[in-house]
Amino acid sequence: MEAEIIAMTADILHGDENTGGLVTSGGTESLVTAMLAYREWGRNTRGIARPQIIMPVTAHPAHSKAFHWFDIDTIIAPVDENQKVDLDFVRAHIGPNTVALVGTAGTYPHGVIDPIPELGRIALEHGLGLHVDGCLGGFILAWASDLGYDHTPFDLSVPGVTSISADTHKYGYALKGSSVLLFRPKELRREQYLLIDGWPGGAYASPGMGGSRSGGLISATWASMLSFGKSGYRSIAKDIFRTADEIRAAVVSHPELKLVGDSLWNIAFGSDELDIFHVNDGLADLGWRMNGLQLPPALHFCITRPNTQPGVTADFARDLARAVSYAQNPPNPRPRSGAMYGAGGAARPPREQLAKASADRLDAIHEVGPLT
């Protein structure tokens, strides 16, 4: 089933006979595994003792987890006003230790696609790997051109792309706990295999980070892909892109608001006139839950299947107008919401308290109160 999940994903993302893959537990595992493969490739094939990877500031922090865990040097590239990676910066910072570049196809903050064809050209010119993080966007953007939406090419059809991740547990509609990581050439996958022949438990060979894994999740992912099929995925994508068009129209109907980026389905917006988090508070009071962003402050509405139901966009347009009025005369100068990833727009603690407050929150999530 895993082999078939990989083959179906490679087919959707234009892989060829030289494409191999892994099924992982999610986007984060796919990204850290890709980063480890590039570190090992740099060491084993290019003899670079301290491999270095260049990634845009908008790339998902799971890459940084890999840099932290696997002690990989990193250079963070800025983005331009459209939130896409600054190619001149990338070109100027490639050095003798650089082993790979990262680009995203559907960034988490703004849903934009980095200039993957240009990154591919740079990668080929310098003999580097190029990972495309399609965790969020892979399974939805795959249908956009078929549906008549123009976008930057991002998948394995682009020369120079050597790996791509796409999460079956996002727009593949599988249960949480599954993602696919594709490598081209497939030998790259071997860079992170672990082989220990002298272990008393037997010669050990493991293809990735997981040990024992859930056959239930793998079979549910396989079943999800087969039951939707390409036509099912395409038809949901059509509804999602149409809904996004309507949400975008609602946003631009307010001169106080401005779009950030040019996403087809993950609509980010901010404001030069209002505190956008007051707009978020107004929306929250009416039952909407946006994600808060920073640098620049903004919100995003990442459209998913439930949002495509009749009436949702009309309700949003009505409530957004109310939220803009609320933000024009907020009851308190300081908004309740802020930019905290994964916290549903919860308030962001002041910078000096952020590290402790975040660690306290993580502790609290994992502890019950005193037992009485």
Ligand X SMILES: Cc1ncc(COP(=O)(O)O)c(C=O)c1O
- Which window, 12-20, 39-47, 132-140, 187-195, contacts ligand X (CB under 6 A)? 132-140
How far apart are CB 27 and ligand X at their closest, in Å? 2
The size of the interface with ligand X (CB under 6 A), counted in residues, is 13
Helix (H, G, I), strand (E, B) or coil at 334: coil
Which of 72, 135, 166, 257 is the binder for ligand X (CB under 6 A)?
A: 135
Residue 268's contacts (CB-CB under 8 Å, 6 or more residues apart) are 83, 109, 110, 111, 259, 260, 261, 293, 298, 299, 300
- Would you say 31 or 156 has its CB closer to ligand X? 31
State how beta strands 52-56 and 98-104 pair: parallel
Q: Is 108 in the site for ligand X (CB under 6 A)?
A: yes
Residue 118's contacts (CB-CB under 8 Å, 6 or more residues apart) are 87
Cβ 244 vs Cβ 236: under 8 Å: no
Q: Is 340 in the site for ligand X (CB under 6 A)?
A: no
**CA 6 distance to own-chain centroid:** 19
DSSP 195-257: EETT-TT--EEESSS-SS--HHHHHHHHHHHHHHHHHHHHHHHHHHHHHHHHHHHHHHT-TT-
Which of 9, 19, 104, 271 is the binder for ligand X (CB under 6 A)?
A: 104
Q: Which residue's Cβ has the minimum distance to ligand X?
A: 27
- Would you say 136 or 303 has its CB closer to ligand X? 136
Residue 343's contacts (CB-CB under 8 Å, 6 or more residues apart) are 361
Tokens of 339: 């930019």
How far apart are CB 58 and ligand X at their closest, in Å? 9
Which of 15, 20, 21, 27 is the binder for ligand X (CB under 6 A)?
A: 27
How far apart are CB 182 and ligand X at their closest, in Å? 15
Kindly identify the residues of this chain, within the stretch 159-178, that bind ligand X according to CB under 6 A.
167
- Would you say 19 or 25 has its CB closer to ligand X? 25
- Which window, 74-82, 86-94, 102-110, 286-294, contacts ligand X (CB under 6 A)? 102-110
Distances (CA, A) of 355 to 72, 76, 359, 362: 23, 21, 6, 11
- Would you say 31 or 274 has its CB closer to ligand X? 31
The contact pattern for ligand X, residues 60-79, with x = CB under 6 A and - = no contact, is x-x-----------------
- Would you say 263 or 313 has its CB closer to ligand X? 263
How far apart are CB 34 and ligand X at their closest, in Å? 11
Which of 32, 136, 174, 247 is the binder for ligand X (CB under 6 A)?
A: 136
Which of 2, 133, 191, 246 is the binder for ligand X (CB under 6 A)?
A: 133
Q: Is 42 in the site for ligand X (CB under 6 A)?
A: no
Strands (E), the chain: 20-24, 52-56, 73-77, 98-104, 129-134, 163-166, 179-183, 194-196, 204-206, 258-260, 266-270, 291-293, 298-302
How far apart are CB 137 and ligand X at their closest, in Å? 7
How far separated are the first and last CA of the chain, in Å rounded? Answer: 47
- Which window, 20-28, 82-90, 209-217, 276-284, contacts ligand X (CB under 6 A)? 20-28
Q: Is 26 in the site for ligand X (CB under 6 A)?
A: yes
The contact pattern for ligand X, residues 276-295, with x = CB under 6 A and - = no contact, is --------------------
DSSP 26-53: SHHHHHHHHHHHHHHHHHHHH--SS-EE
Q: For residues 160 and 162, what is the distance between their CA atoms, to the nearest angstrom?
A: 6
DSSP class of 308: G
Q: Is 221 in the site for ligand X (CB under 6 A)?
A: no
Q: For residues 228 and 86, what is the distance between their CA atoms, to the nearest angstrom?
A: 37
Residues that bind ligand X (CB under 6 A): 26-28, 31, 60, 62, 104, 107-108, 133, 135-136, 167
